[in-house]
Structure 1
Amino acid sequence: MIEAEAPNLPDDGAPRTPDRLRRRASRLLSQLTTRSDRLINEGLARVDARKWHYAVLASLQDLGPGSQAALSGRTGIYRSDLVGVLNELAERDLVERTPDPRDQRRNVITISPSGRRQLRRLDRVLDVLHDELLAPLTPAEREQFVQLLTRLLDHHSQPS
C-alpha cells in the first residue's frame, strides 16, 4: 500500500494561500477593501459617525452647498439612501436645508458651523485609522499607493 503525501501545510497546520491568488490584484484589493471597511466603520462607530456622514460633510466643505442630486453625484450615495443620511446630519445640526430660491421644489444643503467642527474631528479619527491600515508602508509608499489607486479608479470611472 502506498501512503499519500501529506498536504503542503506550514508548520502551524494552517493552509497557505496559493501564490496565484496572492498575485491577483483584484483579489488583493477585494480583501483589503473588506478589512478597510471594517476598520473604518468600526472606528467611526466609536465616535457615533458613519462613512457617509464624512462623505457628505467633506463634499459640502470642499465643493460648497448643493442639492440632494448634486450631493448624490459627488459622494456616490444613492439618492434614496442620501435622504436618510441628510436626515441624520440635520438632526445633529451638522447640515442645514434651505429651499432653493430658483426652484422651491428642491433644497440646498449647506454644512453648518457644527458640521465643520465635526468634519475636523472625523478627519483626525480617519487619520489615525488610515495610519493603522497603512502601518506597514513608509510615508512615501503611502503616497505612491494612494496615487496609484487614484489613477486606477479614475481610469475605470471614465465612461466607455
Structure 2
Amino acid sequence: MKHQLNLGVRTWLHLNRVRFKVEKHLAKHLDCYDLTPAQFGVLAHLQAYPDISQQRLANLLFVTKGNIVGLLNRLEQRDLVQRRPDPEDGRTHVVSLTERGRALAAQVVPEQEKLVVKYMAFATLENQRELHQLLLTLDRNLGSD
C-alpha cells in the first residue's frame, strides 16, 4: 500500500517548490544586471534602510557574518556599496549604497517588484492578504531564528 503524505507535509513540499520556481524566475532577471539574489537583497535592504550596521544587514538577509563580508566585498569591488566605521561604535561598520549602487537599486528594485506583482496576480487582493496572514502566523509559530 502506498504511503499518503500528510496534508501539512504536502503543503510544505509545494511551498518549497513554488519558492524555488519564483526564485529561478527572479534570478533570471537579475542575471541581466550581473547580480545574484543575495546581492539584490543587499541593494534592496540598503535602499530601504540607508546607513545600517553590517550586523543588522546580515540579520535582515538571514546570512552569517562570514557570508555578509563576502557579499559586501564583491559589491564594494563593483563600487555599489561602501563600508565605514560606525562613528558611535568603532567595532562595527555602517554600510550604505554608493551613488552607483543607488542608481542600480533605483532601477532593479522596482523591476523585481513588478515581476513579483505579476506572479501574484493569479490571486485576488483578498487571497493575497489571507496568504500573507497565514505565512505570518506560520512564521510566528516557528519562533525566533
Which residue does the alignment assign to 2:57? 71
The CA deviation string for residues 24-49 of structure 1, in whole angstroms up to 9 with x for no partner, is 32122011012112112222112211
Q: Which amino acid aligns with 1:144?
A: R
Stretches of structure 2 lacking an aligned partner (at least 5 in a row): none
How big is the alpha-carbon RMSD for the aligned residues of Structure 1 and Structure 2?
3.0
Q: Could you tell me how far apart the structure 2 residues matched to 1:116 and 1:153 are?
A: 34
Question: Residue 84 and residue 133 in structure 1: after superposition, are their counterparts in 2 closer, same or farther (change >3 A)?
Answer: same
The answer to whether structure 1 residue 147 and structure 2 residue 138 are counterparts is no
Q: Which amino acid aligns with 1:159?
A: S
Which residue does the alignment assign to 2:111? 125
Which residue does the alignment assign to 1:37? 23
Stretches of structure 1 lacking an aligned partner (at least 5 in a row): 1-17
* Equivalences, count: 142
Q: Secondary structure at the match of 1:24?
A: helix
**Cα offset for 1:151?**
1.6
8 A Cα contact 1:134 1:142, kept in partner: no
The percent identity for this pair of structures is 26
Q: 2:43 aligns with which of 57, 61, 65?
A: 57
TM-score, with structure 1 as normaliser: 0.71
TM-score, with structure 2 as normaliser: 0.77
Which residue does the alignment assign to 1:4? none
**Cα offset for 1:86?**
0.4
The answer to whether structure 1 residue 159 and structure 2 residue 144 are counterparts is yes
Which residue does the alignment assign to 1:91? 77
**Cα offset for 1:20?**
7.2
Q: Secondary structure at the match of 2:34?
A: coil
8 A Cα contact 1:95 1:112, kept in partner: yes
